Amino acid sequence: MKTNAIKDLIKRKKRIHNLLLSFRNYLRIIYNTKTRSRFFWNLKKGDNRLSLDYPLNSTSIVFDVGAYKGNFTEKINSKFKCNIYAFEPIEEYSDYLNKKFLNYKNVVIYNFGLFDDNKEMMLSNIGGSSSIYNRAEGNLINKVKMRSFQNFIQENSIKKIDLLYMNIEGSEYKLLNHIIETGFIENINHLQVQFHNFVSNSKTLRNLLRKELKKTHECVFNFPFIWERWDKKV
């Protein structure tokens, strides 16, 4: 009898523990902006549905900025066979992409990042979260090349971009501001950007950029600090 009572007590404690964990996760969804956004993004199957729901075709130009291991490039290419420019500054992942898309003539890999100027920068290497802002102790630090967005499009005679897909771990604030200031934002039909909240004053910076984007584009979906889409006004 005593053994059964102990077992019942352990079971009750486990149930209470699980209930508390569920309640904690519920509170995170309610009160944490990014957690809430991630929850609803996953609920909408964002990575496999919303991110691919664009009016593209085989002649479309797509920029995948922060390509990492090419998951988005692979999906968008599989659906549209469009012309893809994939930018990945860390050599390890750039080499991986070159092998992965070796037989795809419509996919071009660039071993540098796009930024507001030509420069070399120190970048933490923590997989898909590699960043100039996130240099936690123990992370491998890479010196990488950055190219001016404006210089790149001029040198390659790019007049418009049908889809600019941007996930660059905090550098989006400077790059997007650069694109707006140069006026090229008016030549981008669709923009999908992930803003990151670990950057100082991220909420203010994001709000300022959204205010500028509203002058030329309309927000189609908005999952704060996860993904948002902007389409050029007709």
3-state secondary structure of 164: strand
Q: Give the pLDDT of residue 122.
A: 84
- Residue 163 CA to residue 143 CA, distance in Å, equals 28
Q: Are 219 and 228 in contact (CB under 8 A)?
A: yes
- Residue 1 CA to residue 55 CA, distance in Å, equals 68
Tens-place pLDDT, residues 85-118 = 999 999 999 999 999 999 999 999 999 999 999 9
pTM for the whole structure = 0.83
Q: Could you confirm whether domain 45-232 is CATH 3.20.20.370?
A: no
What is the separation of C-alpha 212 from the centre of its chain, rounded to a whole number of angstroms?
20
| Per-residue pLDDT tens digits of the chain, which is 234 residues long | 556 666 666 677 677 666 555 545 544 445 467 888 889 899 989 899 999 999 999 999 999 999 999 999 999 999 999 999 999 999 999 999 999 999 999 999 999 999 999 999 887 766 655 666 665 554 666 789 999 999 999 999 999 999 999 999 889 999 999 999 999 999 999 999 999 998 889 999 999 999 999 999 999 999 999 999 999 999
Domain spans of the chain, in order of start: 2-31, 45-232
H-helix or E-strand spanning residue 231: strand 227-232
Q: Give the pLDDT of residue 188.
A: 98
